[in-house]
Structure 1
Amino acid sequence: MFGTQWAYAQQEEKPKLELGGALRFNYVYSSWKEEQKTKGGEFGYDMFRINARASFKNVFLNAEYRLYSEAFGGGFLKQGWVGYRFSEKDELHAGLVYVPFGIKQYNSNNWFFNITYYAGLEDDHDMGIKYLHTGDRWEYAIAFFKNAEELNFGGDVENSSSRYSYDVVGRNKETNQFNVKLLRKLGNTGNNQLGFSAQYGQLYNIDTDRNGDHYALALHHELDWRDWNFKTEIITVAHNPVNAAGQSNAIIQMGAYGTPYEVAARFNMYTFAASKVVNVNWGPVSQLKFYNDFGYMQKKERGFTDSFQNVTGILLTAGQVYTYVDYAAGYNHSWLGGNFVDDFSTGNPDAKWEARFNINIGYYF
Structure 2
Amino acid sequence: MTKTLPLRSYQFFLSIIFLLFSAPLLAQDEGEEEKPKLTLGGALRFNYNLSSWKDGQKDRGGDFGYDMFRINAVGTYKNIFLNVEYRLYSEAFGGGFLKQGWMGYKFNEEDQIQVGLTQVPFGLQQYNSHNWFFNLTYYVGLEDDHDMGIKYIHDSERIQYQLAFFKNAEELQFGSTSEIDPSRYSYDIAGRNKEINQFNGKFIYKLGKDRNHQLGTSVQYGGIYNLDTKETGDHHGFAFHYEYLGEKWNVKAQGMIVDHNPITPDTISDNVLQFGAYGGTYGVAADFNLYSLAVSRSIPVEIGPISNLEFYNDFGFMDKAEDDFEDSFMNVTGVLITAGKVYTYIDYAAGYNHSWLGGNYVDDFSAGNPDAKWEARFNINIGYYF
Query: What TM-score does the superposition give when structure 2 sets the normalisation length?
Result: 0.92
Distance 1:231 1:11 in 2: 44
SS at match of 1:156: coil
What RMSD in Å do the two structures reach over aligned CA positions? 1.3
Counterparts of 1:1-365 in structure 2, within 5 Å, are 11-365=32-386
CA shift in 2, pair 1:32/1:272, >3 Å: same
Contact 1:11 1:57 in 2 (8 A): no
Once the two structures are TM-superposed, the CA of residue 234 in structure 1 deviates from its matched residue by 0.2
Once the two structures are TM-superposed, the CA of residue 188 in structure 1 deviates from its matched residue by 2.5
Distance 2:245 2:127 in 1: 14
One-letter code of the match for 2:189?
V
SS at match of 1:155: coil
One-letter code of the match for 1:262?
G
Distance 1:48 1:149 in 2: 20
- Residue 6 of structure 2: aligned partner: none
Determine what percentage of the aligned residue pairs are the same residue.
65
Once the two structures are TM-superposed, the CA of residue 155 in structure 1 deviates from its matched residue by 2.9
One-letter code of the match for 1:81?
W
Structure 1 stretches of 5 or more lacking a match?
Answer: 1-5
- Residue 17 of structure 2: aligned partner: none
Once the two structures are TM-superposed, the CA of residue 338 in structure 1 deviates from its matched residue by 1.6
Distance 1:59 1:155 in 2: 34
Distance 2:169 2:243 in 1: 27
Once the two structures are TM-superposed, the CA of residue 353 in structure 1 deviates from its matched residue by 0.1
Query: What TM-score does the superposition give when structure 1 sets the normalisation length?
Result: 0.97
Distance 1:165 1:279 in 2: 32
SS at match of 2:171: coil
One-letter code of the match for 2:284?
V
Greater mean deviation of Cα atoms: 183-192 or 58-67: 183-192
Once the two structures are TM-superposed, the CA of residue 227 in structure 1 deviates from its matched residue by 1.3
One-letter code of the match for 1:308?
F
Greater mean deviation of Cα atoms: 187-196 or 26-35: 187-196
Once the two structures are TM-superposed, the CA of residue 11 in structure 1 deviates from its matched residue by 4.2
